[in-house]
Amino acid sequence: MAHHEFVPEHYHNTLGWHEPVLEVSPGDSVSTTTVDARGRDRDGHQAAVRGNPQTGPFYVTGAEPGDALAVTLDLVRPNRPWGFTATAVAPNVLDPGFRPRFDDDLEVTRWEVDVEAGSVRLSEPEGPLSRLALPLDPMVGCFGVAPERGQAISTATSHRHGGNMDYRGFRQGVTVWFPVFAPGALFHIGDGHAVQGDGEIVGTGVEISFDVRFTLDLVKGSSIEWPRAEDDTWLMTAGNARPLDQCVQHATTEMLRWLETDHGLDARTAHLLLGQAVAYDVGNIYDPAYTMICKVRKSHVEAIRGQAG
């Protein structure tokens, strides 16, 4: 269970079968940094080409197609005191033909991020929105593994390998499992947000550079088809596609598989449980692929299995 300090020297704008930057053993953890969505680092220097540049990929010894890679986000923390957002809600989440009642011009807006105070505030002291302090809630927008069939897929989108899911629940403490397609899995991470509304509907969260620490582990011979995740409260599955209806289909099907195969619920019980207790969260609804999260309370599953309740 080694710990690695890694200083990135280059970044990728696709998740792909790229040359690894570091090989780690299952169970190892890595401390490193990520640049913001436009490629600027903690000092505001342009360190990478814009478009969710990724740190990595990290090669996990022994990872093979058919395994799952477990990623625990041990630390997810902005490392500078400012971020930026786009301003206007994207046309694809508004009624066709509806036009915003202000002149947007793809304006970029600056926000102050106070990690100590745990707050995020618009950098416009006189403006009405600056009266509102949003609670800091750092999350990783884009991460995952090299995709199937030797593909290199843009960090603007997502699929079975993860990618740009922009889900608020991918915050510090969560563990996420990805299906492994390439030898070594090839884990990538980037696109930190200090805070974000559901759906990333302006096309950005409060985009910022991060200090991150994560632990990489393997589940050999896993049948996982879409990303799965777990935090203190929830079991979660992610479906990445369009329209959202298809995301629902992928995520719900994956949850049934997980409950039945790994959590020991018989099929009828799994269906009945989802029917009366499932929850859904919306991930990215801005990019070419949208994301829907299907969730079930761990306490429910434990009660059914006689472990509690």
Q: Which is nearer to a second copy, 72 or 119 (CB)?
A: 119
Q: How far is the CB of 289 from a second copy (least distance, A)?
A: 9
Q: What are phi and psi of 292, to 5 degrees?
A: -125, 140
Task: Provide the minimum distance between the beta carbon of 9 and a second copy in the complex, in angstroms, as a whole number.
Answer: 18
Task: Give the span between the Cα atoms of 23 and 98, in whole angstroms.
Answer: 50
Name which of 79 and 253 has its Cβ closer to a second copy.
253
Query: In this complex, which beta carbon is closest to a second copy, that of residue 22 or of residue 133?
Result: 133
DSSP state, residue 40: B
Q: How far apart are CA 147 and CA 240, in angstroms?
A: 13
Q: Radius of gyration of the chain from Cα atoms?
A: 19
Tell me the closest approach of the beta carbon of residue 268 to a second copy, in angstroms: 5
* 26 versus 51: smaller Cβ distance to a second copy: 51
* Closest CB to a second copy among residues 70, 235: 235
Residues listed for the chain: 309
- CA distances to 19, 171, 250 from 166, rounded to whole Å, are 25, 10, 17
List the structure tokens of 247.
């995301």
Query: Shortest gap between Cβ of 104 and a second copy (angstroms)?
Result: 8
What is the CA angle 183-186-189, rounded to 5?
A: 165
Q: State the nearest-atom distance from the C-beta of 136 to a second copy, in Å.
A: 11
φ, ψ of residue 257 in degrees (nearest 5): -60, -40
CB of 35 to a second copy, least distance (A): 17
The pair of structure tokens assigned to 20 is: 């690894």
Write down the least CB distance from residue 16 to a second copy, Å.
7
For a second copy, the closer CB: 220 or 266:
266
Which CB sits closer to a second copy, 218 or 304?
304
Q: Is the dihedral of CA 98, 200, 118, 109 positive or negative?
A: negative
Name every residue whose Cβ is closer than 8 Å to that of residue 167 and which is 6 or more positions away in sequence. 139, 238, 281, 283, 284, 291, 293
Report strand pairing: 162-164 vs 54-60.
unpaired
